[in-house]
Structure 1
Amino acid sequence: MYMDHSATSPVDREVFEAMKPYFVDKFGNASTLYSMGRDARKAMESARTQVALLIGAKAEEIIFTSGGTESDNIAIKGVAYRLKDKGNHIITSAIEHPAVEETCKYLEKNGFEVTYLPVYEEGIVRISDLEDAITDRTILITIMHANNEIGTIQPIAEIGEIAREKGIYFHTDAVQSVGKIPVNVEDLNVDMLSLSAHKVYGPKGIGALYVKKGVRLEPIIHGGGHEKGLRPGTENVAGVVGLGKACEIAEKNLSYDAKYITNLRNKLIKGVLDSVEQSYLNGHPIKRLPNNINFRFSSIEGESLVLHLDSKGIAASTGSACSSKKLEPSHVLTAIGLKEVDAHGSLRLTLGKENTAEDIDHAIKSIQEVVKTLRELSPLWCAAPDAEK
Structure 2
Amino acid sequence: MDSKEIYLDHIAAAPVRSEVVETMIPLLEEGFGNPQSVHGRGQRAAEVLAAARERVAGLVGADSAEVVFTATGSEANNLAILGIGRSRKKISNRIVVSAIEHHSILGPAKALTREGFELATLPVDRYGFVSGESLAAELERGAALVSITHANTEIGTIEPIGELASICADRGVPLHTDAWGAAGMIPIEMKALGASALTLAGQNFGGPPGAAALVLVAGTGARPIVTGGIQERGLRAGQENIPAIAGFGLAAELAAADMEERAGRLVPIRDALLSRLPAEIDDLIPTGHPEKRLPGHASVCVEYIEGEGMLLLLDRAGIMAASGSACTSKALKGSHVLEAIGLDAATAQGSLVMTLGPGNTMEDVDRVVDAMKPIVARLREMSPLYKRK
Same fold (TM over 0.5): yes
What are the superposed Cα offsets for residues 4-50 of structure 1, whole Å, 9 maximum, x if unpaired? 11111111111111111111111111211111111111111111111
The residue aligned with 1:387 is none
1:34 and 2:39 are equivalent in the alignment? yes
- Mapped to 2, the partners of 1:75 and 1:380 lie a distance apart of 43
1:157 aligned to which of 159, 162, 166: 162
The residue aligned with 2:304 is 299
Shift of 1:376: 2.1
1:182 and 2:191 are equivalent in the alignment? no
- Aligned 1:181-330 pairs, distance under 5 A: 181-330=186-335
What are the superposed Cα offsets for residues 130-179 of structure 1, whole Å, 9 maximum, x if unpaired? 01101354121110100010011111000111111111111100000001
Amino acid in the other structure paired with 2:36: S
The residue aligned with 1:358 is 363
The residue aligned with 1:18 is 23
- Mapped to 2, the partners of 1:213 and 1:13 lie a distance apart of 34
1:130 aligned to which of 132, 135, 140: 135
Shift of 1:200: 1.6
Q: Is the 8 A contact 1:206 1:243 kept in 2?
A: yes
1:69 and 2:68 are equivalent in the alignment? no
1:57 and 2:62 are equivalent in the alignment? yes
Number of equivalences: 384
Instruction: Point out the more displaced range, 197-206 or 175-184.
Output: 197-206
Shift of 1:383: 3.2
What are the superposed Cα offsets for residues 333-376 of structure 1, whole Å, 9 maximum, x if unpaired? 01111111000011111111221112221111111221122122
What secondary structure, in the 3-state scheme, does the structure 2 residue paired with 1:239 have?
helix
What secondary structure, in the 3-state scheme, does the structure 2 residue paired with 1:151 have?
coil
What are the superposed Cα offsets for residues 55-81 of structure 1, whole Å, 9 maximum, x if unpaired? 001111111111111111111111111
- Mapped to 2, the partners of 1:336 and 1:191 lie a distance apart of 27
Amino acid in the other structure paired with 2:272: K
Mind listing any 5+ residue stretches in structure 2 that lack a counterpart? 1-5
What secondary structure, in the 3-state scheme, does the structure 2 residue paired with 1:210 have?
strand
1:383 aligned to which of 364, 383, 388: 388
2:146 aligned to which of 125, 141, 144: 141
- Mapped to 2, the partners of 1:268 and 1:25 lie a distance apart of 46
1:332 aligned to which of 337, 349, 371: 337
The residue aligned with 2:348 is 343
What secondary structure, in the 3-state scheme, does the structure 2 residue paired with 1:295 have?
strand
Shift of 1:239: 0.7
Q: Is the 8 A contact 1:15 1:245 kept in 2?
A: yes
1:48 aligned to which of 48, 53, 57: 53
Instruction: Point out the more displaced range, 146-155 or 371-380.
Output: 371-380
Q: Percent identity?
A: 40
- Mapped to 2, the partners of 1:271 and 1:200 lie a distance apart of 26
- Mapped to 2, the partners of 1:120 and 1:53 lie a distance apart of 33
Amino acid in the other structure paired with 2:350: G
Amino acid in the other structure paired with 1:3: L
Q: Is the 8 A contact 1:87 1:136 kept in 2?
A: no
1:7 and 2:12 are equivalent in the alignment? yes
Moved over 4 A (4+): none
What are the superposed Cα offsets for residues 314-339 of structure 1, whole Å, 9 maximum, x if unpaired? 11111100001112210000111111
- Aligned 1:67-146 pairs, distance under 5 A: 67-146=72-151
Amino acid in the other structure paired with 1:141: V
- Mapped to 1, the partners of 2:172 and 2:142 lie a distance apart of 11
Amino acid in the other structure paired with 1:91: V
The residue aligned with 2:3 is none
Across the aligned residues of Structure 1 and Structure 2, the Cα RMSD in angstroms comes to 1.0
- Mapped to 1, the partners of 2:27 and 2:106 lie a distance apart of 35
- Mapped to 2, the partners of 1:330 and 1:373 lie a distance apart of 24
- Mapped to 1, the partners of 2:266 and 2:374 lie a distance apart of 24
What are the superposed Cα offsets for residues 293-319 of structure 1, whole Å, 9 maximum, x if unpaired? 111111111110000000001111111
